[in-house]
Structure 1
């Protein structure tokens, strides 16, 4: 069994990395069977993004372990023994990937992928002015505010929740669109969409009210429009043991 270890820079994670790599070896990620991340949800997401960026499909599975000082829901408990047995017994959770097709001011095109959320937000003091439309579902809506967040079920417990967004059941075919300080229209509320929906966003007065788009791994400045949707051909795999399954099931429930 070939394992690629990744760890946060914190002392506890680095100590566990040294012990685990000494016991099980350290394999380059491209050659590994598993990626094991040590830290918290941030480290787990970094490992999932690393797996997503590799040319091999399906993406390599990630087994994350949480140190005592870390928080979140993506990680299993940290132990430095019986790792191979835990990897073999773990259940696979296939997580959807969000995709953004972006055009920047000036015409350059870009593409981003995200596991938990994609955030569109103002770059300057002035509010962003956005024209937002769900393809095939009525006319566009113009909104003024700090921005928008599109989230997956696994991402809905994080930043989305701090903005008052809905909690989506893990395993559901849903996405949520949550506003950031939306001032107009004043009746704006979060939207829950089926995960085959396509969200088109155009930045109004993009040169004077610049907007950026961000994921946990990358930020693109000065966008003029973006098309956001669930990637039709990309997923990532998170490995969870029995203890973590119980923890995931509590906040999310199970719904297809």
Structure 2
């Protein structure tokens, strides 16, 4: 059995706090600063919060999530017993976050990471008008839409799927570019592109038709352009039970009704 320095963190949901109270007397947990592995109790939103904290602190650790939330797509089942054995046998999945370089109409510059997706969304009743560039080349002179998003494989079953975007296998090294309610060109449904692709989105009529940029849960309003790339310098590691891997869940989502 492997010996690990394990930290335990929980969301403020009652089910997560109850699970934390059950686990703490059973195992020897350490503070996050001393840990080489983290157990996260909560839902998918809390797991993303934990991963973002690691990116902010520039110290990433493998995370084994256990579902004490609602959907729990990125989580393992909660079981208190045999936890160390589960960690020893867990499968690793490496995900690379996105990096969004966001510039506002006031020339404020922000750099935000995203694990699921970076999306551009109209702020008012008027549709957004966007120029879409891929690897420095203009692919769409004018996309009239409610918005647009770039999704990682890990996020492809989240907002991307709700916007009728494709589901990407976790190890595909691909990104999904998905329009949100496109009006013109009406028949464009997006693109699947290599992870090394560089995207730039320029907001046309940015004052008249204001647009916000959202990196997972962080929003910057009144933007004029956004550049999105994959950040391979800060890989994140998720751990899953061998019989409940994320790749299996992604495959099953493609047959769900």
Q: TM-score, normalised by structure 1?
A: 0.90
1:96-118 Cα distance to aligned partner (Å, 9 max, x none): 11111111111111101011111
Q: Distance in 1 between matches of 2:106 and 2:42?
A: 40
SS at match of 1:143: strand
Give the one of 35, 39, 44 matched to 2:42: 39
What corresponds to 1:230 in structure 2?
Answer: 230
What corresponds to 1:23 in structure 2?
Answer: 26
Instruction: Check the 8 A contact 1:149/1:160 in 2, yes or no.
Output: yes
Query: 1:5 aligned to 2:28?
Result: no
What corresponds to 2:17 in structure 1?
Answer: 14
Shift of 1:248: 3.0
Give the one of 30, 40, 54 matched to 1:51: 54
SS at match of 2:157: coil
SS at match of 1:234: coil
The number of residue pairs the alignment matches comes to 249
Shift of 1:250: 4.8
Aligned pairs for 1:1-256 within 5 A? 1-56=4-59, 59-67=60-68, 70-137=70-137, 139-245=139-245, 248-252=247-251
Q: Distance in 2 between matches of 1:10 and 1:172?
A: 34
Unaligned runs of at least 5 residues, structure 2 = 253-257
1:57-96 Cα distance to aligned partner (Å, 9 max, x none): xx211100113x6224211110112222222221210011
SS at match of 1:232: coil
Q: Distance in 2 between matches of 1:79 and 1:55?
A: 30
